[in-house]
Amino acid sequence: MIYEIGETAGKVWQVLNDNGESTLAKVKKQVGASTEVLHQAIGWLAREDKLNISKKGSSVKFSVK
CA dist 65 and 16 (Å) reads: 10
Q: How far apart are CA 26 and CA 47, in angstroms?
A: 21
End-to-end C-alpha distance for the chain, whole angstroms: 26
CA distance 26 to 8: 14
Whether the CB-CB separation of 38 and 30 falls below 8 Å is answered with no
Give the model's pLDDT for residue 24: 94
All structural domains of the chain: 2-64 (1.10.10.10)
State the 10-residue block means of pLDDT for the chain, 65 residues long. 91 97 96 96 97 94 96
Provide the pLDDT for residue 49.
97
* Environment class of 50 (CB within 10 Å of its CB; exposed 0-12, middle 13-18, buried 19+): middle
